[in-house]
Structure 1
Amino acid sequence: MDLEKLKKLREENFLKHKKKKREYYLKSKTKDSPAKYKDFKEIDYSEELNEENFLKNMKLIAKKQKTHIDDRKDQIIKKIEDYKKQKKDYYKENKKERLNYDKAYRERKKEELKEYRKEYYKKNKEKILAKQREKRKQNKE
């Protein structure tokens, strides 16, 4: 086979694949196909979102969420306490490393802050001096 025939064959195969893929996609989009979820039902948004139903639905959702949280309240509190205890233990174990890191971080930031102040003063020297002169004059008066 020469190159042209191979290119043509490849193009045909690609088009067949594309067509097959499109058919599969369209088949899954049709309403005839079985629903992906067993409790699936279409929602009429004009009815769901009108003023009366919307408020009622929001209250229903809030009530369901509250009952769910109330049912799990003990579990949630226990998880929070476990997390606090775990965090406390972690900090006790790694206290020295954390303190050393914090010290190094403060030193590094102190140097960066000194450099920043020097640069800032160089850039705004005249403005700063003018403000200082005005403050001195006001204090004398």
Structure 2
Amino acid sequence: MSVDFEKLKKLRDTNFAKHKKKKREYYLKSKEKNSNTKYKNYKEIDYSQELNNENFAANIKLIAKKQKAHVDDRKEQILLKIEEYKEKKQNYYKTNRNKRLEYDKNYREKRKEELKEYRKEYYRKNKEKILEKQKEKRREKYNNEK
């Protein structure tokens, strides 16, 4: 019985090896197909020429022109997407307005004391600036009334 088990084990290993080999060949074949079609129009770039002082500015301008042309071509689509996003956002805020207001109310009630402390500390730190701004506003109001 152990002989049969050993034979089965070897047979399984050989079949598995054949399967792996077949799978590898298929992968390499499909990769070769894809690489030919995907990169057939690409040319190799010589970076020493592309990035030298003479060509660099021209290449940057060319890239900028291409990007601008691309954006100009897609301008309508981009504007539509922006409008769609604004509408979506507005609808979301309208539908969830009450929830948001309720949440804000609960938050304020929970944090009331912390906010008082924060405001006191803020006022204490920025007292000079705040008082100066108030004086300036009063002066402007007084001068406008004259």
SS of 1:37's equivalent in the other structure is: helix
Residue 63 (structure 1) shift:
0.7
Inter-CA distance 3–102: structure 2 relative to 1 (3 Å threshold):
farther
* 1:80-119 matches, cutoff 5 A: 80-105=82-107, 110=111
SS of 2:36's equivalent in the other structure is: coil
1:17 maps to 19
* 1:116-135 matches, cutoff 5 A: none
Q: C-alpha distance in 2, partners of 1:25/1:92?
A: 53
Where do 5+ consecutive residues of structure 1 fail to align? Answer: 114-141
Residue 81 (structure 1) shift:
2.8
Q: What is the root-mean-square deviation in Å for CA atoms of aligned residues?
A: 3.5
Q: C-alpha distance in 2, partners of 1:83/1:33?
A: 37
1:37 maps to 38
Deviates more, 1:1-10 or 1:41-50: 41-50
Q: Which has the higher helix share?
A: 2
Inter-CA distance 107–9: structure 2 relative to 1 (3 Å threshold):
farther
Structure 2 length-normalised TM: 0.53
Inter-CA distance 40–76: structure 2 relative to 1 (3 Å threshold):
same
Aligned length in residues: 110
Percent pairwise identity: 56
Inter-CA distance 7–86: structure 2 relative to 1 (3 Å threshold):
same
Letter in 2 for 1:77: L
Letter in 2 for 1:65: Q
2:13 matched to 1:7? Answer: no
* 1:68-83 matches, cutoff 5 A: 68-83=70-85
Where do 5+ consecutive residues of structure 2 fail to align? Answer: 115-146
Q: C-alpha distance in 2, partners of 1:71/1:6?
A: 64
Q: C-alpha distance in 2, partners of 1:37/1:25?
A: 16
